[in-house]
Structure 1
């Protein structure tokens, strides 16, 4: 029975530990100790039991066990194994779960934006929304790797060759389709293509009343899943969802909000449509969840006002009362709790969001930030890599998040390279860029960057700026070190400015 814990997998039969970067070299004794700790994650295990498990029938010195515990702490995040003084050791990491049986390589798929065949560009939101809904539903299947909206929509409105699209996105399968909405009728055509052979695996046309659109989406999702599951020889249980809303006007407002909420610069514009949606249908869980997330994101614009986080939590709570399996309800909850510094509760919510939709790149990215803020940058890099694999055409906020994580990991040169790809660097990352340049001994670049940062906060001293931009870490020592670096760079700037004034 294999166990998964965090980004690790313990394979008993092979006596192998897999981590974010591949196999982890463990001695046989260390493997046995780790296996016992994982088998009893709620117990403090005494030294005698650990000796019996790893060295049965042998007499060994007590410090031998400490050597193996130290080795495990170097190979894993150190906090995963806690010392309970006078009693023994305890596993203290993410809850171990029985791992699903490993399948061959997961099928990968891109759903291209369905063509709007209504003859009215104002209806683009509807065909786009249908596509996004199918992406989101298919993304709930852990058995597949599903490309996110941002990347698949790069091919919107183009004559696309499936093989070329598949190569650019790194997928095996492509879904194409079209939507024609006229009055209360809708026609949806769809086909699933194996890009390597250009073979049409499945296709269908639906002529239905508009109220049947959810049933159409469910059927498309189920048929694609069934065809790909057969290809991969995996078993897929039926996952038909409940109707998200009976109010089609509310659903159309929700569809209008989706593309706005997906982009940082326009997320606030989604609020108007989401509020209209929940006004028309107060039981529309997905709209409440997205509204909670958009509300919490306002914290990025107004750092000194946590009210947006608290109101976002309440909206997310409403969504989860209506539907406990609404992934974005758990995302909105985890996001707000993260910036309220309730790290353990945030992790529970974000882990649940990933379990519900393991292919959503934004869920994966926010989870990666949490890992970074809780001193697990190596795991965080694995998470951001998984997110970007599902959204390969995205640049902006992936590079921003990756830069944050790399700077936390002390990989300053790589972090600087990430920020260099961004057309505009937000102020929280300017603060980290100052640290990167300073730690590399690049004094002039550090001072120039700090000057840009201070220009964003006129009238505030360096400590206040540090509080707004950098005080997100669970370990206060991390923030203290970063603030000391900003103070030092600021002081050097003041000395340099005074010297320039005194120089005749």
Structure 2
């Protein structure tokens, strides 16, 4: 296809090198410096050609799409698939060669010493000669890295934080809790999490994910070390203390590069004003880094704070992904509804508990459809009460997905991501919809993106990557991904059984399935087929899964 976008210079370099690879613009070929051809889909080659025309520069998504698809209507998903394809071919899991520049586009980071040579021949031998010693050293490093990856069975997916040259990056550390008694730990997280969620909606900041910033709980704050590890420019730290009906919150904003103080303040309010205190911190923080946020103060009150507290306790209980953990989630969610039936928190928790029953435990009268119906009712109630709560849309999106309502699921996920773009959990869950319909490369790209947002991502991201690689028929890598989990919960053992079955490991498959069936003894081949046939629509995927479940010993 012709490249007609005005951003593309028709006199660009004929040969561009990057990290042991050579792109020959005259023939649109990607090769290693030794001359070995690297296979790419034709559209992915076109995208790489556009980026290679301006090495080291940001090329907007619109410019790339106009150049590659000038007379065709396509969505950004097509471009995302091509970028993911290129990165896989280059082994660029950390997005170092093809860099995403948030809200601006992509940049091909070519080797600086290999500047454009207009007279370079398109042949591989010329490229090999030109880059002789340095090229072979780079190639040796690449081959060594590939050998290590092969030894362990899969490439490393944990991406480094993506830096943006024009957008401040902020990490909200967990607030220290000076309280005593049953409330210790929960409301301090509520303050910090509320700030993370609200700031994530701004187009002015990039906010690091909760899981990574909360990693530093109860640790001495070394500002510059944390800044380097998370790749951020600012840190917000603080503390809270509940004394009777009063809540005292202190917060300070630090420059992560040198540890200097940018701003500090304290708030001494009634406990019912928790959400108002959050909002004041957000507005002041926003003002200090360049943008003032103007919007009505949130609704607050003691009942709403109690509901939030129970919701957070239920969410913590769910971390143990088991039947017992799911039941604790439900009980805390019911307490949240009882505390404040007009807040969304308890309904979100109930939606997740019934969704989990439907997919994993089948506890609701052993009827997955009934459990999913009740999950939808709770999620709809949460959205009605709080239409701007990303977690409410997140829960509803997942329920749409389980019901096979793909378009509705994608729309809900898109809305949730707009409301909280820094939440990697939403990105990884959204990958599940894509896997169900066979858009495997897109799903893997989203999981990798989430891992980049959250440098210290949780174990279950590896579970999702294992599923994605199973769908890609790369079961050795899928098993490696699952084994990266520090502890494989019972709910994940069904996936583990399927992966072992794919590899022909019947004994291991049976053992893994037995662990899963301890919490879900009523599962069977017929129930699996009934449960998944409405949403597991990728051609041949369900039959393959059923075959592997039968191989693992799941009863008919």
TM-score, structure 2 as length reference: 0.65
Aligned mate of 2:544, from 478, 481, 495: 481
Please say if residues 145 and 390 of structure 1, whose CA atoms lie closer than 8 Å, have aligned partners that are also in contact.
no
Instruction: Show the counterpart of 1:238.
Output: 293
Please say if residues 106 and 144 of structure 1, whose CA atoms lie closer than 8 Å, have aligned partners that are also in contact.
yes
Please say if residues 267 and 294 of structure 1, whose CA atoms lie closer than 8 Å, have aligned partners that are also in contact.
yes
Instruction: Show the counterpart of 1:255.
Output: 309
Q: Secondary structure, in 3 states, of the residue corresponding to 1:348?
A: helix
The separation in 1 between residues aligned to 2:46 and 2:306, in whole angstroms, is 47
Q: Secondary structure, in 3 states, of the residue corresponding to 2:69?
A: helix
The separation in 2 between residues aligned to 1:474 and 1:399, in whole angstroms, is 23
The separation in 2 between residues aligned to 1:152 and 1:363, in whole angstroms, is 17
Aligned mate of 1:208, from 269, 288, 292: 269
Instruction: Show the counterpart of 2:477.
Output: 414
* Distance apart, 1:438 and its partner CA: 5.5
Instruction: Show the counterpart of 1:450.
Output: 510
- Written as runs of structure 1 = structure 2, the 5 A alignment for 1:323-334 is 323-334=386-397
For residues 73-95 of structure 1, give each alpha carbon's deviation from its aligned partner in whole angstroms, at most 9, with x where no partner exists: 995999xxxxxxxxxxxxxxxxx
* Distance apart, 1:119 and its partner CA: 4.9
Instruction: Show the counterpart of 2:383.
Output: 320
Instruction: Show the counterpart of 1:354.
Output: 417
Verify: 1:150 aligned to 2:211, yes or no. yes
- Written as runs of structure 1 = structure 2, the 5 A alignment for 1:75-474 is 75=82, 104-120=165-181, 122-228=183-289, 230=290, 236=291, 238=293, 240=295, 242-246=297-301, 248-261=302-315, 263-265=318-320, 266=325, 268-303=327-362, 304-425=367-488, 429-434=492-497, 436-437=499-500, 442-443=503-504, 445-454=505-514, 456-457=516-517, 463-464=525-526, 467=529, 473-474=536-537
* Distance apart, 1:320 and its partner CA: 1.8
* Distance apart, 1:450 and its partner CA: 3.3
Q: Secondary structure, in 3 states, of the residue corresponding to 1:24?
A: helix
Identify the structure with the greater helix proportion: 1
Verify: 1:14 aligned to 2:41, yes or no. no
* Distance apart, 1:111 and its partner CA: 1.3
Instruction: Show the counterpart of 1:87.
Output: none
Instruction: Flag the 1:242–1:337 CA change in 2: closer, same or farther, 3 A.
Output: farther
Deviates more, 1:301-310 or 1:400-409: 301-310
- Written as runs of structure 1 = structure 2, the 5 A alignment for 1:22-37 is 24-25=47-48, 31=66, 34-37=69-72
> Which of 1 and 2 has higher RCO (CA within 8 Å, sep 6+)?
2
Instruction: Show the counterpart of 2:73.
Output: 38
Deviates more, 1:476-485 or 1:175-184: 476-485
Instruction: Flag the 1:451–1:136 CA change in 2: closer, same or farther, 3 A.
Output: same
The separation in 2 between residues aligned to 1:155 and 1:22, in whole angstroms, is 42
* Distance apart, 1:220 and its partner CA: 1.1
The separation in 1 between residues aligned to 2:256 and 2:64, in whole angstroms, is 47
Please say if residues 343 and 474 of structure 1, whose CA atoms lie closer than 8 Å, have aligned partners that are also in contact.
no
Instruction: Flag the 1:240–1:296 CA change in 2: closer, same or farther, 3 A.
Output: farther
* Distance apart, 1:386 and its partner CA: 2.5
Deviates more, 1:319-328 or 1:342-351: 319-328
For residues 247-281 of structure 1, give each alpha carbon's deviation from its aligned partner in whole angstroms, at most 9, with x where no partner exists: x1331231242253154324542333332333343
Please say if residues 245 and 281 of structure 1, whose CA atoms lie closer than 8 Å, have aligned partners that are also in contact.
no
* Distance apart, 1:15 and its partner CA: 5.4
Structure 2: unaligned runs, 5 residues or longer: 10-40, 51-62, 86-101, 106-163
Please say if residues 292 and 315 of structure 1, whose CA atoms lie closer than 8 Å, have aligned partners that are also in contact.
yes
For residues 186-209 of structure 1, give each alpha carbon's deviation from its aligned partner in whole angstroms, at most 9, with x where no partner exists: 221111111111111111122233
Instruction: Show the counterpart of 1:494.
Output: none
Please say if residues 473 and 479 of structure 1, whose CA atoms lie closer than 8 Å, have aligned partners that are also in contact.
yes
* Distance apart, 1:466 and its partner CA: 5.3
Q: Secondary structure, in 3 states, of the residue corresponding to 1:301?
A: helix
Please say if residues 430 and 449 of structure 1, whose CA atoms lie closer than 8 Å, have aligned partners that are also in contact.
no
- Written as runs of structure 1 = structure 2, the 5 A alignment for 1:46-57 is none
* Distance apart, 1:488 and its partner CA: 6.0
The separation in 2 between residues aligned to 1:339 and 1:371, in whole angstroms, is 12
TM-score, structure 1 as length reference: 0.71
Q: C-alpha root-mean-square deviation of aligned residues, in Å?
A: 3.9
For residues 224-268 of structure 1, give each alpha carbon's deviation from its aligned partner in whole angstroms, at most 9, with x where no partner exists: 23333x3xxxxx56253552443x133123124225315432454
Structure 1: unaligned runs, 5 residues or longer: 1-9, 42-70, 79-98, 231-235, 492-504
* Distance apart, 1:417 and its partner CA: 0.8
